[in-house]
Amino acid sequence: MTTAMPKESLRILLSEIIDYAGLFPPSRCSMPEAVNNYAKYKNSDFNWMLGRFVVPVSRLNEFMENARDLFSEDKTDVWHLSVLAGEDINETLRRIEFFNQKYETQAVCDALEIKILTSSQIEQIAAQIPTELTAYFEIPIREDLPDLIATLAINKQRAKIRTGGVTVEAFPPTDAIIRFIRLCLAANVPFKATAGLHHPLRCYKPLTYETDAPEGMMNGFLNLFLTAGFMRLGLKSRVLENLLEDESIANFEFEDSGVSWQKKYFLDNSQLKVLRERNIISFGSCSFEEPVEDLQKINLLQ
The whole-number average pLDDT for the span 25-31 is 96
Query: 3 pLDDT band (50/70/90 cuts)?
Result: low
* Distance of alpha carbon 131 from alpha carbon 97, whole angstroms: 12
Sign of CA dihedral 288, 293, 298, 302: positive
Buried b (16+ CB within 10 A) or exposed e, 141-165: eeeebeebbbbbbebebbbbbbbbb
Q: Which whole number is the average pLDDT over 114-126?
A: 98
The sign of the torsion formed by the CA atoms of 149, 185, 165, 47 equals negative
What pLDDT digit, counting tens, does each position of 186-200 carry? Answer: 999 999 999 999 999
- The phi and psi torsions of 286 (rounded to 5 degrees) equal -75, -5
**What is the pLDDT, as a whole number, of residue 72?**
86
The CATH number of domain 13-221+280-294, selected from 3.40.1340, 2.60.40, 3.20.20, 1.20.930: 3.20.20
Percent of the chain with pLDDT over 90: 94
In this predicted model, what pLDDT tens digit does every residue of 52-108 receive, in sequence order? 999 999 999 999 999 999 998 887 899 999 999 999 999 999 999 999 999 999 999
CA-nearest of 213, 217, 229, 140 to 174 is 217
Which pLDDT value is given to residue 287? 97
pLDDT band at 18 (very low <50, low <70, confident <90, very high): very high
* Bridge-based pairing state of the strands 258-261 and 252-254: antiparallel
Q: How many CB atoms lie within 10 A of CB 296?
A: 14
Q: How far, in Å, CA of 124 to CA of 286, rounded?
A: 30
Q: Is the peptide bond before 291 cis (omega within 30 degrees of 0)?
A: no
* Listed residue (235, 292, 299, 290) closest to 261, CA to CA: 235
DSSP states of the chain as a string? ---PPPPHHHHHHHTT-EEE-TTSTTT---HHHHHHHHHHHHTSTTGGGEEEEEEEGGGHHHHHHHHTTTS-S-TT--EEEEEEP-S-HHHHHHHHHHHHHHHTTTEEEEEEEEE-SSHHHHHHHHTT--TTSEEEEE---STTHHHHHHHHHHTT-EEEEE---SSGGGSPPHHHHHHHHHHHHHTT--EEEESS--BSS-EEEESSSSTT--EEEE-BHHHHHHHHHHHTTT--HHHHHHHHT---GGGEEE-SSEEEETTTEEEEHHHHHHIIIIIEEEEEES-SHHHHHHHHHTTS--
pLDDT of residue 5: 79
**How many angstroms separate the CA atoms of 276 and 286, rounded?**
21
Lateral strand order in the sheet of 258-261: 252-254, 258-261, 265-268
pTM, two decimals, is 0.96
Could you give the CA distance from residue 184 to residue 160 in angstroms, rounded to a whole number?
10
Say what the pLDDT of residue 76 is.
81
pLDDT tens track for 233-264: 999 999 999 999 999 999 999 999 999 999 99
Inform me whether the pLDDT recorded for 1 exceeds 60. Answer: no
Instruction: Please state the domain extents for the chain.
Output: 13-221+280-294
